[in-house]
Amino acid sequence: MNHPEPSGQDQAAEHNRRAWDRLVRNKQRFTRPAKDDEFHDPLKVLDGNRWLGNAVLGAQLLCLAAGGGRQAPLYAAAGAKVTVVDISAEQLSLDRQVAAEKDLDICTVQTSMDDLSMFADQAFDIVIHPVSTCYLPKIAPVYREVARITRPHGLYISQHKQPTSLQASTLPSENGYELLTPYYCEAQPLPAVQGSLHREEGTLEYLHRWDQLIGEMCRAGFVIEDLTEPCHANSQAAIGTFAHRSTFVAPYVRIKARRMASPAANRVWLPE
């Protein structure tokens, strides 16, 4: 199987910066700005689970690794004071473009999601983090930074690729979708794929286990309040399509977490 070169945190970020700039130039998925009609009721588009409600009004809200002219302008239109972080300058230029068109105030910052050192401790009430932790080998440094910049009792809403989906074959064999990639593949980029909607071509992606996705979030100082698996399944879909594959393997998980007032409050004390 074709494995890209292993790489550290900084090399992965640099590789993916170039890859995402390219995806923007090629107008690929996740680089398309919000549509005009979505601005009529932005929270209907953004908050299907109703996890946020009125909390966004006037909130200091960070859209993390969320460039592309979609989340940041919509949250700004919903009344939040928005900062958007992304590694890709091209993605951020889409946010500035939409903000100018819609007369919205948005602050854009180009950095890797594991280095938020330009922000003060407890700077944000809400952090919104679309799918992107898969683009770094290590997830713990990201959670540490998010915990630092989120105020006590603030909200952290994130979405991630599920590990089983990153392990499973793109197309089914006669036995169905098969697990091709090991679960324990520490800091090893996933094999390159082509023509699959569950991966982004040209990027380096990494599998994070459940103990890393959820356990490390708790250990960083968050408590999980809710968790959903956005459903893309359609058992009638043509074999091998994203919807057919999603009938067997859920592609994403969405997590609602709240910052503990003190990380120590998150430790579990077992009786001796």
Binding site for ligand SAM (CB under 6 A): 13, 16, 20, 30, 65-68, 70-71, 86-88, 91, 112-113, 130-132, 135-136
Q: Using the minimum distance from each CB to ligand SAM, give the nearer residue, 87 or 217.
A: 87
Smallest separation (angstroms) from ligand SAM to the CB of 46: 11
CB of 255 to ligand SAM, least distance (A): 15
* Residue number, nearest CB to ligand SAM: 68
Closest distance of CB 84 from ligand SAM, Å? 9
Q: Please tell me the distance from the alpha carbon of residue 38 to that of residue 40, in angstroms, as a whole number.
A: 5
Burial class (CB in 10 A: 0-12, 13-18, 19+), 110: middle
Nearer to ligand SAM by C-beta: 131 or 255?
131
Residue 248 contacts residue 176 (beta carbons within 8 Å): yes
By beta-carbon proximity to ligand SAM, the closer residue of 113 and 139 is 113
Least distance CB 21 / ligand SAM (angstroms): 8
Q: How far is the CB of 217 from ligand SAM (least distance, A)?
A: 17
Distance of CA 272 to the CA centre of its chain: 39
206 versus 222: smaller Cβ distance to ligand SAM: 206
Q: Which is nearer to ligand SAM, 99 or 113 (CB)?
A: 113
Closer residue to ligand SAM in complex, CB, 135/143? 135
CB of 72 to ligand SAM, least distance (A): 8
